[in-house]
Amino acid sequence: MSKADLHLHSNKSDGILSPEEVVLQAAKLGLAAISLTDHDTVEGISEALNAGTRYGVRVVPGIELNTSADNGELHILGYYICHTDTRLLDALKNIKEARVQRVRAIVKKLNGLGFEITFDQVLKKAGKADSMGRPHIARLLMEKSYVSTVKEAFEKYIGYGGPAYVERHKLLPREVITLIKNCGGVPVLAHPGILSSSHYIDLCIREGIQGIEAYHSRHTEEQAAVFREIARRHDLIVTGGSDCHGEFKFDGKMLMGRYTVDARAVDRLKEAAAGNGVCMKGMYNHFKS
């Protein structure tokens, strides 16, 4: 079975590897297809598409957007989006500006807790202002020995309910689903296994979600089976991915490629995108692949 990892991040958002490095690693792992799904940005897509051509990996243009449901942490993936669509780019510009203000507010709260970090240090860690996020803050806290792991930083300080938590820019699930469809993409509910209630799955189905991420690094086999059944009942596309940000795990291996889906899911996504109406400029050759 040809495998696809359809949930990957690069240094264009909160990952470590460049988009080309993500594709190169996928090629080394023998993956047939991947999707670059950076948070709130499409800046890495062109680089990833070009790298896919060079390394023989099918690259699906993607994105991961957050909504205000479930404490602001309900994530929706968009596949085969037209990454040059002005409606999408305008929405992302507003999200990026809010992201910068959120980082400033988190840093201020951490300073009040006695942590000696600055906005400029987070910026240096991220590389650019509009890609900053909590993982960069967590890595900085690790670098300064305030915490031992990124997970500890989230659990103790910057995760939901933590003393330095700040709510993100809020969008409703239906707004994100509509936005993705309007720019020719296919909206898919990301990692439903970490949601606090199955109510949010039902909500997204009512709002027009077209797929569900059954396979994920934080899902059990039992959960994956439940999500496959939900997909069957509601005629949703089953997707999957590692949600790899480039880090190597305790066994010295990268998370990428460990949680995958049959590459035929890419064909279903492409067909659904064509049904939604695609941006043909700059995408025609990719859609033929």
Tokens of 268: 């279903």
> For residue 279, what pLDDT is reported?
57
pLDDT band for 188, please (50, 70, 90 cuts): very high
pLDDT at 95: 87
pLDDT in tens, 44-85: 999 999 999 999 999 999 999 989 876 657 999 999 999 999
Q: What tens digit of pLDDT does each residue of 93-144 get?
A: 998 888 899 999 999 999 999 999 999 999 998 887 767 889 999 999 999 9
Task: Let me know: does 183 contact 82? Beta carbons within 8 Å.
Answer: yes
Measured over the CA atoms of residue 256, residue 196, residue 221 and residue 189, the dihedral's sign is negative
- Whether the model clears a pTM of 0.85, i.e. scores above it, the answer is no
Residue type, 63: I
Average per-residue pLDDT for the chain: 91
- Which amino acid is present at 49? L
Domains of the chain: 3-84+172-288 (3.20.20.140), 92-158 (1.10.150.650)
**Ordered alpha helix ranges (H), 29-116:** 45-55, 69-72, 86-112
Has residue 284 got a pLDDT over 50?
A: no
In sequence order, which residues have a C-beta less than 8 Å from that of residue 285 and are 6 or more positions away? none
Judged by DSSP in three states, 82 sits in coil
Q: Which two tokens stand for residue 198?
A: 């199955």
Cα 276 off chain centre by? 21
Quote the pLDDT of residue 250: 46
Picking from 288, 286, 219, the residue whose alpha carbon sits closest to that of residue 59 is: 286
Predicted confidence (pLDDT) at residue 161 exceeds the cutoff of 80: yes
Kindly state the tokens that stand for 288. 């033929």
* Whole-angstrom distance, CA of residue 11 vs CA of residue 19: 7
E-only strand ranges, the chain: 3-8, 33-36, 58-67, 74-79, 186-189, 211-216, 237-241, 261-262
Q: Beta-carbon neighbour count of residue 148 at 10 Å?
A: 10
pLDDT at 104: 96
- Round to whole Å and give the CA distance between 254 and 242: 10
β-strands 3-8, 261-262 pairing:
antiparallel
Residue 288: predicted pLDDT:
42
Q: Dump pLDDT digits (tens) for 223-259.
A: 999 999 999 999 999 999 999 998 765 455 789 999 9
Q: pLDDT at position 72, please?
A: 59
Residues paired with residue 248 on neighbouring β-strands, in sequence order: 254
